[in-house]
Structure 1
Amino acid sequence: MAEKSKDFDFTNQLGVVSETGIDDSQSDPGSRDSSSYSEKKNVSITVDGAYTHEPDAIIARIQTSGDMDDILTEDADFIVGKLNTLDVTESLRVVTHAFDYFKDDINYPEKSLHKIQLLIQGEEAYGQGPALYDLDLRLEAALIKFHSPYPEVRSVCSPTDDPTIPVETLRAYLIGFFWVAVGSFVNQILLFRQPSFSLSSQVIQILSVPCGQLAARILPDVKIFGMRLNPGPWTFKEQMFVTIITNVGAHGAVFLDYAPVMRLKLFYGQTWMSYGFTVVMGLTSELFGLGFGGILRRWAVYPVKAVWPTILPTIQLNKTLLNVEKKQVINGWSLSKYKFFNIFFAISFIYFFVPDYLFTALATFNWMTWIAPKNKNLAFITGSRIGLGYNPITSFDWSVINYSTPLILPFYTTLNRYLGTLLGGIIIIIMYYTNYQYTAYIPPNTADVYDRYGNVYNVSKVLRHGKLDVDLYKQYSPPYISAGNLMTQAVTYVIYTFGFMYIILTEWHVFKEAIQGFFQGLRKRKMSTFEQFDDPVSVLMRKYPEVPDWWFLVVLAISFVIGCVAMAAFPTTTPVWVIIVVLVASVALLIPFIVLYASTGYFLSMNMLSTIIGGYLVPGNGLASLFTRTFGFALDDQSETFMGDQKLAHYSKLPPRAVFRAQLLATLIQIFASAGAFEVLVGFPNFCSYTQVSRFTCTFVHTLYSQSILLGVIGPHRTFDELYPILKYCFLIGALIALPVFYAKKLFPTQLRLFHPVLFLGGITRFSWTYNLSYYTPGMYAAIAFMYYIRKRYLAWWAKYNYILSSALTAGVAFSGILIFLALQYRPKTLVWWGNKVSSAGVDGKEVATLRSVAEGGYFGVADGTWS
């Protein structure tokens, strides 16, 4: 970008309001007719020595000066118009309040924050002369008051709204319901395949757009149930409405993640679990998430700091597919977003055939192990399969590069988590090579549980009538876990207490205001929640009736009753009071953790905590630990999903009550469709076996099974007190270090600005779930390129193309993966050559490889007969 020029000569303090006037009431800052708005403003400045009233010239000059290079033309026109409504006094008030509110916010651009600080100090401190000081002060104030302080939000969201645009139409419901049923059924089938892929939200978005446009052309304009079937052209708001409906199907039903380990004879063999029980459990888990997600709107949806970076590409993709954009040259690129998407979608679609089928070594590029394939130490350190992945170049596959969503999450999120992952690997190496807690007898990074003979733990040898038999347990073996599994569990427990305390300390004012607003809303049931927020989006949303809190409370009550009845009426072996305890504990932790997710994109699940609680309250019962984990995880996962869609609606200015109806109805369809898909899966030969011919091996189900053994059957008492006592102290460690870290951030705000301790600790926990550093290194490179360098140097290009690039590459992989699966992998057509064999040819390709071996007839671990 060009250096900032100092030859601005402002007339009448950057212009005057024209005689035609501008409707700039604070109650509705974004309501205007964008097509005629340029004619309503009369801003006069000198540009390159020529006196002009042309808004385009003013916009071009401002963008050249580097102050608005992330604002696209249509929004720049709006912001320039709003400059007229702000004088110096009002502008100073706005930026001063913003500085106090955002000074500790990592998402707020550091450059903008420093600029605001200088503006507050005055014209002399700013040092750019009176003309530029006046412009920049008003500009920063206008962006904050009438748009968004975050460039990533400005790049996808409009600062205006037209409430007359159709949203909740009958055709939108029909298209949405069709795709939520298809997406739920297909995704439930594909979920258990390894490698898994799905009809992602991007794929369904792309498929639903032509459906909407076709419906607009062929359907008659008649009313059915009081709703117009075809009110005209397919609108962006209708498309966003359909996206929210179909997102329910794209995410899947949580209970069905756990159903195989409960029902299949390969695991716990609870064959009494019928389609009806699956539907009932789906209802209680999904609706509880919807109800509680609605209650948490004040914490994680409406606050302006709740950026929700993970959802921004969804809005950008829909805008690209539907809206006609003005042609503009940005950093030398004149390509429209639509053409840009098509080009990179085609490239991704074609290229994915290479790493996924033709040359799979490019996907798992463990090239360092090829040097000495039989060297165990080399495989343990650098390997991508059983190793830790210390390899500078690990993959040329976008599905691997995108595993950490590097083009979506803020750079500091990716950086903190990657640095944590690096440290986690070092800790595993130390534990493994010192044989800490007998970890050298187990592969270094596996989620499986082993017995003392070096075999995968056979839980059937310690169960009698589905519960632990102590005598059988004493005869067989204690359970042992890998170094990666042990470290992951330990740090996860640290995060539970540390994260809870740290987020409460850093975001206390958010929690205080939200709690006050919640009880105020119950007392004044006619008051809109939006009246408690004064950011531009919430102000625009005040024209729409809000969903009362009691609606969500009713959903909560219904789902709770359904869950209690299911636990009592079926042979779940899980007392109702245990579920209540789990839900209370999960609710307490969910509130701060969802605030963390809304700002950073890092989601910390409470499933491990729920398993521990179940293990303590119902000892020796693996099935009960799975049910408690189901309720705990369903609460946080589904709440996060529904709140993310509510934020989509908030950014897109959709009526909240329409969104509530859409989410509720879509959930019902999803449950019945997903439960039906699971019944189909159960009929597959060898379903969830490692030898399943079509690769329906259920990797996550095996992980669940292992954890239910350790923390359910054997129980946390034996695990924490006898086998791994360090684990129980991790909760205390987390609580003790939260306050010192909080004050360290306060004392050194500049030096520690980009350091986020919860994200850093979260990075350490990335091991032992069949993933390792090799899945995150290529994503770190992508984040450095796009989220740091390009965003910093070429912000306008980044704002226009970055999210489109991520969506195009991801959608191309998804469509290509589906085609490859149906054509070449469902009934395997194997391509055998060196490039498809080399990754698994050495030690790194083996399922089991250990540093130490158990002597024939011997064992490792605690002395024989010393465990209880």
Structure 2
Amino acid sequence: MPSPTRKSSDSATLAPAESAPEISDADTLAAADSVVQPISEKDALGIAAKGDDEKTELQADSKEGELQALSEAAESTFNALGEDIDRVSSFVAQLTEEQSLEILRTAIEYHKDDINFASATMEKITKLAQGLEFYEGDYDTYSLELRTEAALIGHYSPYPEVRAVTDPFDDPTVYVETPRVYLLALIWTIIGAGIYQFFASRQPSIALNSAVIQLFLYPSGKLLAFVLPDYRFSLGGRTFALNPGPWSYKEQMLCTLMCNVAVNGAYVALYNIITEKMPQFYNNQWVTYGYQFLLIFSTQFLGFGFAGVLRRWVIYPTKAIWPTVLPTIALSRALLRPEKQESVHGWTISRYWFFLIATTGSFVWFWFPGYLFQALSTFNWMTWIAPSNFNLAVVTGSIFGLGYNPIGSFDVNLIIGSNTGLYPFSVPFWSALNQYSGSVISGLIILCLYFKNYKWTGYMPINDNALYTNTGDTFRVTEVLTNGLLDQEKYQNYSPPYYTASNLMVYGSFFALYPLAFVHTMLHEGKHIYNSLKTFALEVFKKDKRPIYEAYDDPHSRMMRNYREVPDWWFLIVLVVSLVLSIVCIKIYPTNTPVWALFVIILVNFVFLIPLTIIYSTTGFSFGLNVLCELIVGYALPGNGQALMILKAFGYNIDGQAESYISDQKMAHYSKLPPRAVFRGQLFTTLVQCLVSIGVVNWQIGNVEDFCSPTNAQRFTCPGPRTYYSASVMWGVIGPKRMFNGLYPILQWCFLIGALVPLPFYFLTRRYPRLRKVNPILICGGMLVWAPYNLTYYTPGIITSFCFMYVIKTRYIGWWEKYNYVLSSALTAGVAFSAVILFFAVQFHPKPLVWWGNLVPFVGVDGGIGRQALLDLPESGYFGLDPGHFP
């Protein structure tokens, strides 16, 4: 195969040339200011270890001797560096002490409030920055450690997580945006989006996420590189090659990003269309394909328009590490980057073979909790002691109860956090622990509410996302509507909707979370946000002609200067077109939704998007604006559940799509992919995803028996659409005025609580910096886990996070850097493969395996047999407010 030619700055020229110039290490260092391979803080601190055990004699008199000594020390200490040790050595040797001191002092100031920056590293570089007189050692050792730390921080990354999956150098000649990338992205977007949409209404859900897609893309790309002819063609003045050469790492990453943005699902298809069309919900038969197309296109693409502004806050800054994207990059490196045989804590297996073995193990194991021995998945062993004990089921039950169970499941699907967002192999342990602490605390509050029968919660199940009438039946909104709006006479003759104890906790936590997140982010990141806004304003008004990357001096941004950024007006065009489609949608169909309300929701998104994405980029914790939008629309358009559902779809999806695009753009930043190629590719696959999602959801509605029924044999119980429906009833049809004034007045105080909580935390962390990892946003976010999920879905994840993100990361950093993210992807891939095969083999047309191990989790109260509420109905036959006096 011919070698590739140098691309244009946006990587659109794809034809291979006859030859490409060799790029030497010296050229790379001079051109890109690059260092090399990832090494840990612990390893970096020990790179010039002084103990007798090292037996390394540093020759500071000559550069040659220094390089040799450094290589020898690194060879014994950092096996993960492999062939890039020489690059590290060369760059450390080129740094002067003055340059190194400047880098460290800048880092100390920038990272002083950085919760992801290791405290041990901060202590070390602070001592180094103070000079030799504060350092306990000789001059030669001090000088080498000073320059080593400066090289890692100033010319690579201060985070071992990032160094583990990135390179400190880039080859801009590697082809990226090839025709075969678009072909494979089209095929796997159709497959991935179809499977996601099909299983998204199932509990637990199944998806072909990026790890699984990558596994298929790799052999597919290799196959195309083998079979496609070396054919070139011209388009728009550029030459393209059908087969430019071997399947490259950058092609793999671009194709992954294109699929990734599309296979994460279409919010409208999953929630809005199902809720509006299904008879047990709104039963709106006017929801035609035309309405669905307009709504899904406008909601999916509006977020892209906002993403252009967000780049300044959550892509270029070094602090924005985006921990949830790192496993995806790690897997692509394992598949395509060669590595030499080496020993890391006694492990010599390559990342690729480790991935294959772990994937196979995960695939085989999932059959046990998924089909052969289902008690391993729903391991509610504490309720087996007394299956009819109501209180025991309430506290420890995995199905009916709250899941206070130290060993809740052996299901890998629960361990990897696919249904919870905890992601124990990528989210920092301190972040996971904060969230889990909030879950445990809120569960105790739920128990108090329930057993005190607060607001009649004792007459309903404790942990359910459904709404109930005053007789304990499921609330049906069609009983109180006339022409899609609330009918007061029907409402007074029927019942108000009542929340379960867990649902009450979830909404109270949401109301506190919004002001908490906003105030907390402004206190801690206000200066950074202000400076970025000022930079953006200068760019908009053409007072600053510099490219966006020029404002950032970290090594990754410097390398990305080889590629042209996406102009802001590209994002603006997408935003305007999407806005026009959304206006057409709500005007030509009977949506009962005014246009001005849409602009209000867009404004709310604009205000909150910056703090939300900053939180997501640093902690791995994400939450949407769905509940805030419910409240705003409920006040603005009382009694209008239809408008609430539509505006909520916009309010949530603008944020969701913007975060999805931005997180993938950060992956492109780490992988050195041209931003314009990523922009074009993701727009293309999002369009494909919209069409696939609409087709799948309409097929399900018409062909799956008992779809969205609690008794569905294939578990298509629609937990998400059911929550979506409940919210539209409570906050749209009934409205927040009735909720706050008559049913649940305590909820309105949650806003004030959320606004005040950040203040003491802020002053405490200023006084005691070690407390900065106690994050009130994450604690409050952990309180959202309930209804219908419980601690059974979270406890396995926090145990795994402790093992891998704390113990192994602290004690075996070399192993962790090499294998951790690969293991995360392997477990995810194995579960997805196994679940899809298992579903079509034995669950779609049920082939039950009847024995004790598959029956014991579902007997007794926790299995839905026997008493399902704490209290019996009063003699009057109803609970709550008296009929005729409903708020």
**TM-score under structure 2 normalisation?**
0.91
Distance 1:398 1:60, change over 3 A: farther
Write out per-residue CA displacement over residues 562-590 of structure 1, whole angstroms, 9 at most, x where no aligned residue: 11111111111111111111111122112
Q: Name the structure 1 match of 2:5.
A: none
Q: For 1:690, what is the secondary structure of its paired residue?
A: coil
Does 2:650 correspond to 1:631?
yes
The answer to whether the Cα contact below 8 Å between 2:35 and 2:87 also exists between their aligned partners in 1 is no
Cα distance in 2 for partners of 1:759, 1:71 equals 33
SS of residue paired to 1:456: coil
Q: Is the 8 A contact 2:436 2:794 kept in 1?
A: yes
* 1:502-531 C-alpha deviation (Å, 9 max, x unpaired): 111101122112212212222338532111
Corresponding residue for residue 242 of structure 1? 255
Q: Is the 8 A contact 2:35 2:169 kept in 1?
A: yes
Residues 1:515 and 2:501 aligned together: no
For residue 177 of structure 1, report the CA deviation from its aligned partner: 1.5
Name the SS of the counterpart of 1:348 in structure 2: helix
Corresponding residue of 2:882:
863
Check whether the contact 1:70–1:795 (CA below 8 A) recurs between aligned residues: no
Aligned counterparts of 2:135 and 2:795: Cα–Cα separation in 1: 41
CA distance in 2, matches of 1:185, 1:845: 32
Matched-pair contact (CA < 8 Å) for 2:29–2:91: no
Return closer, same or farther for 1:757/1:31 CA change in 2, 3 Å cut-off.
closer
Aligned partner letter, 2:321: V
Contact 1:181 1:669 in 2 (8 A): yes
Shift of residue 71 of structure 1?
5.3
CA RMSD of aligned residues (A): 2.1
Tell whether 2:501 aligns with 1:497. Answer: no
Range moving further from structure 2, 680-689 or 611-620: 680-689
User: Are the equivalent residues in 2 in contact too, given 1:586–1:610 (CA < 8 A)?
Assistant: no
* Aligned residue identity for 2:619: T
Q: Deviations over 1:685-715 (max 9, x none)?
A: 3322223343322121111111111111111
Residue identity over aligned pairs, in percent, reads 44
- CA spacing shift, 1:437–1:95, aligned 2, 3 Å: same
CA contact (8 A) 1:253 1:671 kept: yes
Give the alignment partner of residue 745 of structure 1, picking from 740, 762, 765.
765
Report the equivalent of 2:133.
Answer: 124
What corresponds to 1:687 in structure 2? 707
Which of 469, 477, 480 is equivalent to 1:451? 469
Listed one character per residue, the Cα deviations across residues 331-355 of structure 1 (whole Å, up to 9, x for unaligned) are 1111100111111111111011000
Q: Structure 1 residues 288, 279: CA separation in 2 closer, same or farther (over 3 Å shift)?
A: same
CA distance 1:609–1:63, shift in 2 (3 Å): farther
Equivalent of residue 540 in structure 1, options 536, 543, 559? 559
Kindly tell me: are residues 32 and 418 of structure 1, through their superposed partners in 2, closer, same or farther at Cα, counting changes over 3 Å?
Answer: closer
Residues 261 and 704 in structure 1, CA contact (< 8 A), matched pair in contact too: yes
> Residue 707 of structure 1 aligns to which amino acid in structure 2?
A
Please report how far the alpha carbon of residue 75 of structure 1 lies from its aligned counterpart in structure 2 after TM superposition. 4.1
Q: How do 1:377-388 and structure 2 match up within 5 A?
A: 377-388=391-402
Mapped to 1, the partners of 2:104 and 2:664 lie a distance apart of: 30
Aligned with residue 593 of structure 2, among 574, 598, 608: 574
Q: Does 1:28 align with 2:32?
A: yes
- Does the 8 Å contact 1:71/1:154 carry over to 2? no
Q: 1:638 to 1:820 in 2, by over 3 A?
A: same
Q: Could you tell me which amino acid in structure 2 is paired with residue 469 of structure 1? A: D
Pair 1:259 & 2:273 matched = yes
Query: In the TM superposition, what whole-angstrom CA distance separates every residue of 1:148-197 from its partner, at most 9, and x where no partner exists?
Result: 00000000000000000000111111111111122122221221223320
Q: Does 1:269 align with 2:291?
A: no
Q: Secondary structure at 1:227's aligned position in 2?
A: strand
Deviations 1:606-628 (A, max 9, x none): 11111111211111111111111
Pair 1:357 & 2:371 matched: yes
Residue 387 of structure 2 corresponds to 373
Contact 2:37 2:81 in 1 (8 A): no
d(CA) in 1 for partners of 2:312, 2:125: 27
> After the TM superposition, which residues 562-641 of structure 1 pair with which residues of structure 2 at under 5 Å, given as runs?
562-641=581-660
Q: Secondary structure at the match of 2:562?
A: coil
Change (3 A) 1:217 1:580: same
Shift of 1:855: 3.6
Once the 2 structures are TM-superposed, how far is the Cα of residue 117 of structure 1 from its aligned partner? 1.3
Contact 2:635 2:737 in 1 (8 A): yes
Unaligned regions of 5+ residues in structure 1, if any?
1-19, 35-42
Q: Tell me how far apart the structure 1 counterparts of residues 445 and 84 of structure 2 sit (CA, whole Å).
A: 49
CA distance in structure 2 between the partners assigned to 1:803 and 1:381 by the alignment: 34
Alignment partner of 1:220: what SS? coil
Q: Letter of the aligned partner of 1:276 in structure 2?
A: G
- Inter-CA distance 802–21: structure 2 relative to 1 (3 Å threshold): closer
Q: Does 1:324 align with 2:338?
A: yes
Change (3 A) 1:668 1:529: same
User: Which of residues 55, 61, 69 in structure 1 aligns to 2:73?
Assistant: 61
1:49 positional shift: 5.1
Summarize the Cα distance change of 1:401–1:734 in structure 2 as closer, same or farther, 3 Å threshold: same
Equivalent residue number for residue 278 of structure 1: 292
Greater alpha carbon shift after TM alignment, 759-768 vs 793-802: 759-768
1:645 to 664, 668, 671: 664
In structure 1, the residue corresponding to 2:405 is in which secondary structure? Answer: coil
Contact 1:47 1:58 survives alignment (8 Å): no
Please list the CA deviations of residues 654-698 of structure 1 after superposition, one character each: whole Å capped at 9, or x if unmatched.
111111111111111111121122221221233222233433221
Residue in structure 1 matching 2:723, options 703, 707, 716: 703
Q: 1:810-825 alignment to 2 at 5 Å?
A: 810-825=828-843
Superposition pairs for residues 216-227 of structure 1, below 5 Å?
216-224=225-233, 225=235, 226-227=239-240
Tell me what 1:228 maps to: 241
* Runs of 4 or more consecutive aligned structure 1 residues displaced over 4 Å after TM superposition: 23-27, 31-34, 49-57
Q: Please give the alpha-carbon distance, in whole angstroms, between the structure 2 residues aligned to 1:77 and 1:393.
A: 47
Tell me the residue number matched to 1:802.
820
Q: CA deviation at 1:21?
A: 9.6
* 1-structure distance, mates of 2:871, 2:551: 62
Report the AA paired with residue 213 of structure 1.
K
Find the counterpart in structure 2 of residue 11 from structure 1: none
Match of 1:149 in 2: 158
CA–CA distance in 1 between the matches of 2:345 and 2:596? Answer: 61
CA-CA distance at 1:294 after TM superposition: 2.1
Cα deviation per residue 1:172-228 (whole Å; 9 max; x = unaligned)? 111111111221222212212233201111111100111110111111111233311
Output the TM-score relative to the length of structure 1: 0.93
Give the drift of 1:738: 2.4
Name the counterpart of 1:108.
Answer: 117
User: Partner of 1:675 in structure 2?
Assistant: 694
Matched position secondary structure for 1:72: helix
Paired residue secondary structure (2:116):
coil
Q: Tell me how far 1:857 sits from its aligned partner.
A: 5.0
Q: Which runs of 5+ in 2 are unaligned?
A: 1-23, 39-47
Q: Is the 8 A contact 1:493 1:731 kept in 2?
A: yes
